[in-house]
């Protein structure tokens, strides 16, 4: 198949899809998309249609079946990656690794017993894609200076337990609801002043075991229009209390109440072979808990024309446990 050959030619050393890695050469990154569009015009048309429908919807688009269910896992993953390369620029799963395709599976044995019990622990801070508990409304990589514009989820194996149900909320409706006479103060507090979003341990830049990091950024901005995740915010405020005041804390409660009662929500189960493409700058998404250990999704984050991390007006801060916070960029 010409699509697989094009992917293989750009990732010659990737025997498994987990080994498909990033190159820092932007020209080489663009070449893969160009090659795929040349040899697979049908794939290119699908990519353009998905982008157009997402732009029209403002939040995202769901494809109930991509037509890959009968193929083996390696082929399915590579074809999904090829589609992503035609949509945007796939990004690495974290700052330290170059892996482009992230397996969304329950990894709770990696977390500490304190974390699993719901106790705040600096030893390990798991992100939603590593456990089977409920994932509250959030935007992806809200803990980075500039989150990726798009997030693509592809279902390798759905949860047979009835859990893992997805929800998507329109951030534009939340902004409109908050920017009213009685709650305009809360909207201003969350848009004019930054808050600390803690970086989960799987994605931090530091290898120091006693280090915690956070990105200072507002919930509402021009780009991204929204960034939010309750646990990274709460943990960030607890660990960096000097970067949040009482008005901001109260504003978060008002915002979360508005989010809980919002009716601009789509709710759906993701079946095997389905695909969900989200506008990560406009939509918040959530997931119910699940018990099926076989549930397996692929996640690929994609950049469009948004600024890179280093060009964002927001900064990453770091502190050793028991030490004052300092900008991460100033650390040796």
pLDDT band at 109 (very low <50, low <70, confident <90, very high): low
pLDDT band at 200 (very low <50, low <70, confident <90, very high): confident
Q: Which residues contact 255 (CB under 8 A, 6 or more apart)?
A: 174, 178, 186, 190, 219, 228
Question: What is the three-class DSSP state of 318?
Answer: strand
Which tens digit of pLDDT belongs to each residue from 59-104?
999 999 999 999 999 999 999 999 999 999 999 876 666 899 999 9
Which tens digit of pLDDT belongs to each residue from 238-254?
999 999 999 999 999 99
Which tens digit of pLDDT belongs to each residue from 308-323?
767 788 999 999 886 7
Q: How many other C-beta atoms lie within 10 A of the C-beta of residue 293?
A: 12
- The stretch 265-291 carries a mean pLDDT of 94
Map out the domains of the chain with their CATH numbers. 2-330 (3.60.130.10)
Cβ atoms of residues 146 and 235 within 8 Å: no
Considering only residues 84 and 208, tell me which one the structure prediction assigns the higher pLDDT.
84
Residue 111 has pLDDT above 50, yes or no: no
The candidate with the shortest Cα–Cα distance to 126, out of 144, 142, 113, is: 113
What's the pLDDT score for residue 253? 96
Instruction: For residue 220, give the DSSP letter.
Output: B
Cβ atoms of residues 322 and 239 within 8 Å: no
The fraction of the chain above a pLDDT of 70, given in percent, is 87
What's the pLDDT score for residue 82? 97
Instruction: For residue 183, give the DSSP letter.
Output: T
| HSE value, Cβ hemisphere, 13 Å, CA-based, for 59 | 17
pLDDT band at 210 (very low <50, low <70, confident <90, very high): confident
Residue 331 has pLDDT above 60, yes or no: no
In the sheet that holds 326-327, the strands lie side by side as 195-198, 211-217, 315-320, 326-327
pLDDT band at 202 (very low <50, low <70, confident <90, very high): confident
What's the pLDDT score for residue 328? 64
Cβ atoms of residues 79 and 3 within 8 Å: yes
Query: Could you tell me the pTM of the whole model?
Result: 0.86
The candidate with the shortest Cα–Cα distance to 133, out of 161, 155, 166, 106, is: 106
Residue 28 has pLDDT above 60, yes or no: yes
Residue 218: alpha-carbon gap to chain centroid: 17
Cβ atoms of residues 32 and 7 within 8 Å: yes
Burial of 118 (0-12, 13-18, 19+ CB in 10 A): exposed
What's the pLDDT score for residue 108? 67
Q: Which residues contact 46 (CB under 8 A, 6 or more apart)?
A: 83, 86
Average pLDDT, the chain: 87
Q: Max Cα separation, the chain?
A: 59
Beta bridge partners of 320: 211
What's the pLDDT score for residue 128? 58
Q: Report the C-alpha gap between 142 and 233 in whole angstroms.
A: 9
């Amino acid at each position: 198949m010409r699509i697989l050959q094009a992917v293989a030619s750009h990732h010659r050393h990737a025997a498994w899809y987990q080994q498909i890695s990033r190159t820092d050469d932007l020209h080489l990154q663009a070449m893969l998309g160009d090659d795929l569009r040349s040899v697979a015009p049908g794939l290119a048309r699908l990519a353009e249609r998905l982008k157009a429908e997402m732009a029209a919807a403002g939040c995202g688009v769901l494809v109930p079946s991509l037509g890959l269910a009968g193929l083996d896992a390696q082929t399915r993953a590579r074809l999904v990656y090829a589609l992503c390369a035609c949509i945007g620029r796939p990004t690495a799963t974290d700052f330290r690794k170059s892996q482009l395709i992230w397996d969304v599976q329950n990894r709770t044995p990696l977390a500490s017993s304190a974390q699993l019990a719901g106790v705040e622990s600096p030893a390990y801070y798991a992100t939603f894609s590593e456990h089977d508990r409920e994932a509250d409304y959030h935007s992806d990589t809200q803990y980075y200076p500039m989150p990726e514009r798009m997030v693509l989820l592809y279902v390798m194996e759905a949860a047979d337990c009835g859990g893992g149900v997805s929800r998507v909320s329109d951030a534009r409706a939340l902004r409109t609801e908050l920017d009213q006479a009685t709650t305009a103060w809360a909207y201003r507090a969350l848009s004019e002043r930054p808050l600390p979003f803690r970086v989960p341990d799987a994605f931090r830049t530091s290898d120091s075991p006693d280090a915690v990091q956070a990105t200072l950024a507002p919930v509402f901005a021009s780009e991204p229009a929204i960034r939010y995740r309750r646990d990274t915010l709460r943990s960030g405020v607890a660990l960096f209390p000097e970067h949040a005041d009482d008005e901001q804390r109260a504003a978060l409660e008002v915002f979360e109440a508005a989010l809980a009662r919002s009716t601009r929500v789509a709710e759906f189960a993701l079946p095997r072979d389905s695909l969900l493409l989200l506008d990560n700058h406009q939509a918040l998404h959530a997931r119910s808990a699940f018990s099926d250990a076989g549930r397996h999704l692929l996640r690929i984050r994609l950049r469009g024309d948004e600024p890179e991390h280093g060009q964002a007006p927001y900064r990453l801060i770091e502190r050793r446990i028991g030490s004052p916070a300092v900008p991460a960029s100033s650390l040796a």
